[in-house]
Amino acid sequence: MFATTATAAPTTPTLELPQPTGPLPIGHRQQHLVDHDRPDPWAPEQPRELMITLWYPTAQPTGEPAQYLTPAESREVLAHLEGVPEVPDDILSTVGTHAHTGAPLLAPRLPLVVLSPGFSHPRAALTGLGEDLASRGYAVALLSHNHESFATEFPDGHLTPCLACDPFDGQKVVRGRVADIRFLLDELPPHHTAAARAHRRGRPLDRRRQRRAHPARRPAHARRDQPRRHLLPRARPRPRHTLPARRRTPAPARWHRRVLGRTWSHLTDWRRWLTISGTSHSSFTDFSILSEQFGVGLPDEPLDGHRTATISREYVAAFLDEHRRGIPQPLLRGPSAHHPEVGFEDPAGS
C-alpha cells in the first residue's frame, strides 16, 4: 500500500475513483452472510461471517452514493499505512464512488463475477474494478474474508481485526477463501445472477443448467498479481488469466519462473500470463490512484495509477467478455501497440 516518505499536505485532499468506462449506471448493495455450519478459521468460537459488496447495472441510478469505507474502517486502515500525510482519520470514508445504493437491478439475468481482495487489503480496494465491470453489464460480488484484512465493519457496528496477519499461514488462508467463495455462490441473494428466480423459490444455484443454457458462460479465473503455487496443479481445467506486477526487469522475475515453471503445464485450458512494467503489488488496487491523490509518490510503482487502472480494466474485461460472453477479444492474442507496458510471457520458459 502506501509505503514511502511523504510531506504533510497543506489541505485535505479530495479522493475520487476514476469514472467507470462502461455505458451503464451502477447500483450497489451490501450483504451480511453467516455460515452457521462452519466455524471461523481464525476465531473458532464464532461462525464464519462475511461482508459482501454487490455492484450491478441499473436503469434507475437513484439512491445515495455508495460509501467506500466506513469511518471506523478508515481509521484502522490508515493506522496500518506508512507515509500517509496528516489527514482526517475518516478520509477513506469520503472517497468519491460512482454506484448508487439500493438502485434497482437492470435485469434478472446477468453474468456473475466474484472478486476476492488481496490479503490484508479491505475489500473496498477493488471498488474501481467492481464498478467498471458493473458498468459493462456484469453483476459483481466482492467478498471480505473476515479477519484477513486490517478492518471489517459489520451492520451491528462491530469491527473485526486481522487475526490472520500474524502469524501468516498461507495454506490456511487459501482453504478458508475457497470455502468462503463456495458459500457465497450458494447464498447469493435473489436480486443477482442468472439464478434469481430459482433463489426466490428457495432452490440452490443450478450451475449446470446455467452452463447448458449459456455455453460460453463457463467458470473462468482471472488473477491480478502472483498466483498461489499450491492452488494451480489441482485446479480444474478452466480459462485463466493473470496480471502480475513487473518492475524494471525485461523478463518475469525468478520467482515467477521457479513457481510457474512447475505449474504452468498443469493448466490445460486457455491461459495467459501478462506482465505490466512499472507496477508492484498494490498497483492493481485503488490505493495506487488514491496514493497519488494523497500526494504520496510510490517509488516502486513508476507507472501512473490511472494508466495502470486503464490497462487492468481493459484486460480483465476482455478476458471476461471472451470467456463469459463468448465474444472474441483480439487484445488477448498478443502484444498491443496501444498497451506497450503489457508483456505476454511464458513462465515455463518454453
Q: What pLDDT is attached to residue 246? A: 52
Q: What pLDDT is attached to residue 348? A: 67
Q: Tell me the mean pLDDT in the region 43-53.
A: 96
Residue 221 CA: distances (Å) to CA of 90, 113, 175, 227: 34, 9, 17, 11
Q: What pLDDT is attached to residue 4? A: 43
Compute the mean pLDDT over every residue in the chain, rounded to the nearest whole number. Answer: 80
306 has pLDDT over 80? yes
What confidence tens digit (pLDDT) does each residue in 126-167 have? 999 999 999 999 999 999 999 999 999 999 999 999 999 999
Closest CA relative to residue 222, chosen from 206, 205, 244: 244
210 has pLDDT over 70? no
Residues with Cβ within 8 Å of 211's Cβ and at least 6 positions away in sequence, in order, are: 217, 218
Q: Tell me the mean pLDDT in the region 332-347.
A: 90
Q: Which three cell numbers stand for residue 327?
A: 465474444
Q: How far apart are CA 80 and CA 185, in angstroms?
A: 31
Closest CA relative to residue 17, chosen from 245, 287, 282: 287
Q: What is the 3-state secondary structure (H, E, C) of 99-167?
A: EEECCCCCCCCCCEEEECCCCECCHHHHHHHHHHHHHCCCEEEEEEECCCECCEECCCCCEECCCCCCC
Q: How far apart are CA 89 and CA 55, in angstroms?
A: 26
Q: In the chain, what percentage of residues exceed pLDDT 70?
A: 74
Q: Tell me the mean pLDDT in the region 31-37.
A: 95
Q: What pLDDT is attached to residue 259? A: 62
What confidence tens digit (pLDDT) does each residue in 109-136 have? 899 999 999 898 999 999 999 999 999 9
CA triplet 315, 317, 321: central angle to 5 degrees? 120
Segment among 101-110, 179-188, 237-246 with least mean pLDDT: 237-246
Q: How far apart are CA 199 and CA 187, in angstroms?
A: 9
Q: Tell me the mean pLDDT in the region 294-319.
A: 84
More reliable by pLDDT, 83 or 172: 172
More reliable by pLDDT, 271 or 101: 101
Q: What pLDDT is attached to residue 223? A: 59
